[in-house]
Structure 1
Amino acid sequence: MRLFGVSLGEGNVKVGDVFTFSLPSRKTCPGASSWCWDYCYAYRYERCRPGCQDAYERNLSLSRDTGKFIRTLIGVLPRIMPCFRIHVGGDFYSVEYVHAWQRICSAFPQVKFWAYTRSWAAPELRTALEGLRSLENMQLMASTDPAMPLPPSGWRVGFVDADPRAQGMLCGEQTEQQESCLACGYCFQRSEGDVIFRVH
């Protein structure tokens, strides 16, 4: 769905009937490891679907104008929605961009936002990300992989099953115990507990 220059995903089989926002992978992923570059599902998806890649590039262009980005998202997002997934592809790439999402999430206190990020590994973004994840309606999980250290204490962690340190609940959607992320709610309804994803 494209409205006023922003492209929103309207859900899929995995996440369910959930609005999503994405950016181009790799160029917006300052915390990505070599392992992530090799196995990134979003990058593969973007290469197979040029339309998605174009939409994500438009989103990136919009996001660089912080004020316009905040106004646009607050203006187009539905007031009534259970949750919102930030970054099916892409990641938090700058302090200004993180602060923009903090403003957007704060404007929708009734909505559960969630995201997974490797940008916690970028020291210049850590403080801003701590501010974002402090919001009551935001669940920001630290993604990691075998090539990365463990995130700081206090963060919920999104592991991959290839990581020998992995602990937590196996993704309910991937194990087919839940129909979708929306039906499960583990990652965005809870405030604690790690999750393990199968590499795909």
Structure 2
Amino acid sequence: MPEARVHKPRHLPSGGPLRRHVKPKGARRAIVLAADHPAVVEARTIFPTTVNEQDHPRVKNLLTSGHNSRKIGKAVTKGRWRGMPIFTLTLEERATCPRSCKEWRSCYGNGMPYAQRLRDDGWLMTGLAFEIEALAERHPAGFVVRLHVLGDFYSTEYVGFWRLMLARNDALRIFGFTAHAMESEIGGAVLALDFDFHDRCRIRFSGTDEEGLGSLVIDHAADSQHVLCPAQSDATECCGTCGLCWTMNRTVEFVRH
């Protein structure tokens, strides 16, 4: 019997992720739930035990280092945000998302049983504000928050919270995606963030090829007509070593996963 191949975790010094277990890169097959699946009908994750409020013992921080994520990375290594550490925020998929989301049944959260999701218990924004101000003091040259690994902007009040955080903390940068349409109330508020804080905020709109602000999900890499996520195509290590999502004025594409 051939000797088992041993993979050593990679600890990259800059933008790369901390890999406790080396996993194959590239797209995996999406898990598509049936239309009558309880999680689809009830607008929730299929992993309810991973959803906690901020005072749960399992929740150490609301904003966690991107170093723990293979796709994110711990810091930006190129572009105008170079050198800034990356943090992530994970909410509950579907529970915070608009039902108009084109990936409602095929959300990649369906394949993330270990992700720790946060629920707003009425104090989430207060807790986030405390952590953001602490990070701004610790990283005066700048830091980046990825919104949202899972979940979405769930109210105009919540969008307003991020507007306030950007206004109060010059060190804060944010990037991410939303399934809200630009013409919706929440989508319009997000769009205003992009324009009013264009140097420090880039939230792309899923399901549209709007120049500079769009993102699309495709079934196969060969279907790409715009710019395929370099981290998915193995052209770069992770978000930290790429930066196209917050700098590129073209539509980014992701293979459904």
What's the TM-score once normalised by structure 1's chain length? 0.77
Q: Which amino acid aligns with 2:87?
A: F
Give the aligned partner of residue 142 of structure 1.
205
| 1:7 aligned counterpart, secondary structure | coil
Q: Which amino acid aligns with 1:103?
A: L
Q: Which amino acid aligns with 1:9?
A: T
> How far is the alpha carbon of 1:31 from its aligned partner?
4.9
Q: Which stretches in structure 1 are left out of the alignment for 5+ residues?
A: 145-149
Residues 82, 76 of structure 1: alpha-carbon distance in 2 compared, 3 angstrom cutoff? closer
Give the aligned partner of residue 106 of structure 2.
39
Q: Which stretches in structure 2 are left out of the alignment for 5+ residues?
A: 1-53, 75-85
Greater fraction of residues in helix? 1
Give the aligned partner of residue 147 of structure 1.
none
What's the TM-score once normalised by structure 2's chain length? 0.61
Give the aligned partner of residue 91 of structure 1.
152
> How far is the alpha carbon of 1:75 from its aligned partner?
2.6
2:161 aligned residue (83, 86, 100): 100
Matches within 5 A, 1:1-150: 6-11=61-66, 12-17=69-74, 18-33=86-101, 35-45=102-112, 48-49=113-114, 52-53=116-117, 56-57=118-119, 60-61=120-121, 64-65=122-123, 68-69=126-127, 71-77=129-135, 78-79=138-139, 80-120=141-181, 123-134=184-195, 135-136=197-198, 137-144=200-207, 150=208
Residues 66, 95 of structure 1: alpha-carbon distance in 2 compared, 3 angstrom cutoff? farther
Q: Distance in 1 between matches of 2:183 and 2:154?
A: 9
Deviates more, 1:96-105 or 1:66-75: 66-75
Paired residues, number: 182
Q: Distance in 1 between matches of 2:87 and 2:225?
A: 28
Residues 165, 120 of structure 1: alpha-carbon distance in 2 compared, 3 angstrom cutoff? farther
Q: Distance in 1 between matches of 2:158 and 2:224?
A: 30
> How far is the alpha carbon of 1:121 from its aligned partner?
5.9
1:145-177 residue CA offsets vs partner (Å, 9 max, x unmatched): xxxxx47x5661111113999642110100011
Q: Which amino acid aligns with 1:25?
A: E
Q: Distance in 2 between matches of 1:82 and 1:129?
A: 20
Give the aligned partner of residue 183 of structure 1.
241
Give the aligned partner of residue 171 of structure 1.
229
Q: Distance in 2 between matches of 1:91 and 1:84?
A: 14
Q: Which amino acid aligns with 1:52?
A: Q
